[in-house]
Structure 1
Amino acid sequence: QMTTAISIEDVRREVKILKALSGHNNLVKFYDACEDALNVYIVMELCEGGELLDRILARGGRYTEEDAKAIVVQILSVVAFCHLQGVVHRDLKPENFLFTTRDENAPMKLIDFGLSDFIRPDERLNDIVGSAYYVAPEVLHRSYSMEADIWSIGVITYILLCGSRPFWARTESGIFRSVLRADPNLDDSPWPSVSAEAKDFVKRFLNKDYRKRMTAVQALTHPWLRDDQRQIPLDILVYRLIKQYLRATPLKRLALKALSKALKDDELLYLRLQFDLLEPRDGVVSLDNFRTALTRYLTDAMKESRILEFLHALEPLAYRSMDFEEFCAAAISPYQLEALDRWEEIAGTAFQHFEQEGNRVI
């Protein structure tokens, strides 16, 4: 099939990504690639357990919440790893997760990086790729980033929990219309018997506004999946938000600080874990902490996507430090907070920090 320059480049990139991404348990192992006059051969580890799709079909679609969680945690874990390395998969679906053995509890491996690409934290992509049922709305609008993978995980989670697709139509254009306009049905059977946490989880993934979606790392700290024993990786979102914070006006910084003060302890859990990963000295972090934390996860993929260059944007932290309180203000996303049921309450509390005189205007 490698008949055009573009298709040759695609296979080159796939091999490059497979080669560069190494060191995660849920990632298919790459051994070697070679070619002869007719074919390109990619040698990978053998996964004998079949596709996740086949297991879903064999179960008639419905997974118990506990079984679904075990699957979703593995998916999030490997996607969080890819995103930190600056790789967006762009074709996450049940066919692209293989079980290593036929065993019921065999680990899963993410495969098929044929549509994947390297991406910097602030970059947007514009080509429409992926599979219709799993494609995110912003991909159809031709401006997207890593959040498109999160949408696809939301679709997979929805299917695991109820056995049907959230967006469906007879034609591809019909499916696209549904993705852009329809809301997933969380009312009909079996949804009334699904826990509130699981429903909230799916909603926070299938939000049409990509800015309001959780990241893969945040999802691992969501109440539905929370496990105090689990190691949480570094989240590249923190770097992106802190860059914005350092460039923000004083008023915006104060507003973010007020918002962060309105959060409850369990809502700050993710931020506390991220702050601890930066290994603060005397309760504060500076540019060195951000550099060291990122370098700890370094693979060839991170070099290829030039993520370390992003540290230049955090340059102001070379001359000052940030304590946990300021870190919370810098690393929260008002868009994500807006997606919470408690948003009005959080915003109201934040407003009170400013509104001292009783005249209701700042």
Structure 2
Amino acid sequence: MGLCHGKPIETQQHESNNHTLSFETDSQPPNSRASRASNPFYSPSPLPSLFKYSPAISSVSSTPLRIFKRPFPPPSPAKHIRALLARRHGSVRPNEAPIPEGSESEIALDMNFGFSKQFASHYELGEEVGRGHFGYTCSAKAKKGNMKGQDVAVKVIPKSKMTTAIAIEDVRWEVQILRALTGHKNLVQFYDAYEDDENVYVVMELCKGGELLDRILARVGKYSEDDAKTVMVQILSVVAYCHLQGVVHRDLRPENFWFTIKEESSPLKAIDFGLSDHVKPDERLNDIVGGAYCVAPEVLHQSYGTEADMWSIGVIAYVLLCGSWPFWARTESGIFRAVLKADPIFDDAPWTSLSPEAIDFVKRLLNKDYRKRLTAAQALSHPWLANHHDIKIPLDMIVYKLVKTCIYSSSLRKSALGALAKTLTIAQLAYLREQFTLLGPSKNGFISMSNFKMAVVKNSTDAVKDSRVLDYVSMVSSLQYRKLDFEEFCAAAISVHQLEGMDCWEQHARRAYELFEKDGNRPIMIEELASELRLSPSVPVHVVLQDWIRHADGKLSFLGFVRLLHGVSSRTFRKA
């Protein structure tokens, strides 16, 4: 099992009538941070931090008793190397790799990465700009080729520091994932990887603007809504891109987003994919990794997917808008308890002066039920970000899951979903219209199941092949089903759980039931309902389903309608 480490650095707390708190960073330069160098859990991978830190900022006004501290980065996941390799290279299904007997030290360490050995002839190293537990980062200048004269960042990882197979695999993995994903404008660009007998050299884009955390501190703790929107659009854009490729970052936090230049209009880049992993839409991960302040509840429960990244984005959005962590305690275990049990504060300043749309946006990301959380593509469609420039809604893999589930559903549930879809607002329909358009409907306004695969292939990178997302997409596209028009697509692609997480859920459900009463409700026997739901004969259907049907006319009750919308199975009833 991996660990989740977010030990806070000591800060001074200044109490006053205005409840001002101290926001402090380390005063030492990166290459002399004793606290980091001595901490065995310094880095999420053997690759050190990219660039220089910005100056520390003094105290600011903030929410009482919620101190904004710079946490230590988390450790590399403590998974057995054979199980890790089996998962990453697809020889077994995720989370099913056996943990063999014997210790990691018994495995022979292969220090040959297969990278080019011509680093010295291509780049001239400059000054050191950052140092981590496993290596250091330097600026460099290209000496030849298309990049001649260009400044770059080079992560230098001494092979002498790679004392475990996991350390070696972490280097190999991050190079592989960056090579596969590079190209998105909000992802740090990977140029090449080299090695010699002494070191591995990872050549990347040089980000000179500092990290997002330092910008937050420089703004005295919080962003304006407009500026926060600009940051969130860039974060959501790159995360949606990764999720479509089947990559979950697992370590999204303010320290892992960097600005390319110091100007306020600088593009923002996601860095450090050392803890990232592949995950198919129907699979769950169980490693506990990531920074403590940003870790999602389901990660602590050891069953999660891409939704965990969305929780972390919710934490970043909270910090941007109010300047403090939504979940804070003096110990790591206390932070975890807060993440699992506590609710973020939205009743104090500055939340009372922010727009309802901003508050709704953050709340829908920080929902403890991951099924009710927005995806990255949905978050880009949220009313808070509406009309913001440079927004392009990407393809959303949740549509594939929902359509697949709907196709396997009973005719009664499809009718109920159709009624619910008719209650959607213009904003909700706009997101579905974007997804429908991305699937490439015909001139007649229909999509077939083959459209689902073509759309992903059109947007795929090498990471899609590695993540085996195409296997899942191929299975969806092979389903024998008639074509869908936009209205039918909306019914199939609607997320009942996400609607349930909204304040207006009751109105949606009541209105949908009224429509269902007019068009789809009919007298139905319990045995027929059990058959519709494909329940096993072993399930005590008369006991379980009697509340679903009105005794007066034998039609589906409102309670039964809502339960039907969520979808049921024999397993659901066994849990009940």
Do the structures match in fold with TM over 0.5?
A: yes
Match status 1:277 vs 2:417: no
Shift of residue 38, structure 1, vs aligned partner: 3.4
User: How far apart, in 2, do the equivalents of 1:205 and 1:301 lie?
Assistant: 26
Shifted more, 324-333 versus 226-235: the winner is 226-235
Q: Is the 8 A contact 1:48 1:101 kept in 2?
A: yes
User: How far apart, in 1, do the equivalents of 2:388 and 2:187 lie?
Assistant: 24
Q: 1:3 aligns with which of 152, 163, 170?
A: 163
Name the counterpart of 1:349. 511
SS in 2 for 1:224: helix
After superposition, residues 24-35 of structure 1 pair within 5 angstroms as 24-35=184-195
After superposition, residues 114-125 of structure 1 pair within 5 angstroms as 114-125=274-285
Tell me: CA distance 1:109–1:338, structure 2 relative to 1, closer, same or farther (3 Å). Answer: same
Shift of residue 119, structure 1, vs aligned partner: 1.2
Match status 1:70 vs 2:230: yes
After superposition, residues 95-110 of structure 1 pair within 5 angstroms as 95-110=255-270
Q: Is the 8 A contact 2:452 2:477 kept in 1?
A: no
Supply the AA of the counterpart residue of 1:239: Y
Name the counterpart of 2:392. 231
Q: TM-score, normalised by structure 2?
A: 0.61
SS in 1 for 2:395: coil
How many percent of aligned residue pairs carry the same amino acid? 64
Shift of residue 23, structure 1, vs aligned partner: 2.1
Q: Is the 8 A contact 2:258 2:269 kept in 1?
A: yes
User: How far apart, in 2, do the equivalents of 1:47 and 1:266 lie?
Assistant: 36
Shift of residue 187, structure 1, vs aligned partner: 0.5
Shift of residue 36, structure 1, vs aligned partner: 2.7
Supply the AA of the counterpart residue of 1:138: E
Match status 1:338 vs 2:500: yes
User: How far apart, in 1, do the equivalents of 2:397 and 2:293 lie?
Assistant: 27
SS in 2 for 1:50: coil
Name the counterpart of 1:310. 472
Shift of residue 340, structure 1, vs aligned partner: 1.2
SS in 2 for 1:322: coil
Match status 1:195 vs 2:351: no
Match status 1:142 vs 2:302: yes
Shift of residue 60, structure 1, vs aligned partner: 1.3
Question: What is the root-mean-square deviation of aligned Cα atoms in Å?
Answer: 1.6
Q: Extract unaligned runs of 5+ from structure 1.
A: none
1:326-353 Cα offsets, whole Å, 9 max, x none, are: 1001101110000111100111111123
Supply the AA of the counterpart residue of 1:13: W
Shift of residue 288, structure 1, vs aligned partner: 2.5
Supply the AA of the counterpart residue of 1:271: L
Match status 1:156 vs 2:316: yes
Shift of residue 43, structure 1, vs aligned partner: 0.9
Q: Is the 8 A contact 1:124 1:143 kept in 2?
A: yes
Q: Is the 8 A contact 1:162 1:191 kept in 2?
A: yes
Q: Is the 8 A contact 1:246 1:314 kept in 2?
A: no
After superposition, residues 89-100 of structure 1 pair within 5 angstroms as 89-100=249-260
User: How far apart, in 1, do the equivalents of 2:190 and 2:478 lie?
Assistant: 40
Greater relative CO (CA pairs within 8 A, separation 6+) = 1
Q: Is the 8 A contact 2:453 2:474 kept in 1?
A: no
Shifted more, 224-233 versus 84-93: the winner is 224-233
Tell me: CA distance 1:213–1:235, structure 2 relative to 1, closer, same or farther (3 Å). Answer: same
Shift of residue 316, structure 1, vs aligned partner: 5.5
Name the counterpart of 1:329. 491
Tell me: CA distance 1:234–1:172, structure 2 relative to 1, closer, same or farther (3 Å). Answer: same
Q: Is the 8 A contact 2:415 2:516 kept in 1?
A: no
1:10-58 Cα offsets, whole Å, 9 max, x none, are: 2211111001002210000001112233332211010000100111111
User: How far apart, in 2, do the equivalents of 1:244 and 1:228 lie?
Assistant: 33
Name the counterpart of 1:241. 402
Supply the AA of the counterpart residue of 2:431: Y
Supply the AA of the counterpart residue of 1:61: G
Shifted more, 166-175 versus 27-36: the winner is 27-36
Supply the AA of the counterpart residue of 2:471: E
Shift of residue 172, structure 1, vs aligned partner: 0.4
Q: TM-score, normalised by structure 1?
A: 0.96
User: How far apart, in 2, do the equivalents of 1:303 and 1:309 lie?
Assistant: 9
SS in 1 for 2:185: coil
1:210-237 Cα offsets, whole Å, 9 max, x none, are: 0000001001110000128632111111
Instruction: Name the one with the larger helix percent.
Output: 1
Name the counterpart of 1:206. 366
Shift of residue 317, structure 1, vs aligned partner: 4.9
Q: Is the 8 A contact 1:286 1:318 kept in 2?
A: no
SS in 2 for 1:355: helix
Q: Is the 8 A contact 1:221 1:227 kept in 2?
A: no
Shift of residue 293, structure 1, vs aligned partner: 1.2
Name the counterpart of 1:259. 420
Q: Which has the larger radius of gyration?
A: 2
User: How far apart, in 1, do the equivalents of 2:481 and 2:360 lie?
Assistant: 41
Shift of residue 276, structure 1, vs aligned partner: 1.0
User: How far apart, in 1, do the equivalents of 2:448 and 2:183 lie?
Assistant: 28
Name the counterpart of 2:345. 185
1:227-252 Cα offsets, whole Å, 9 max, x none, are: 28632111111111111111112222
Q: 1:112 aligns with which of 265, 272, 283?
A: 272
1:99-143 Cα offsets, whole Å, 9 max, x none, are: 000111100110000100111111100000000000000000000
Q: Is the 8 A contact 1:126 1:139 kept in 2?
A: yes
Q: Is the 8 A contact 1:286 1:317 kept in 2?
A: no
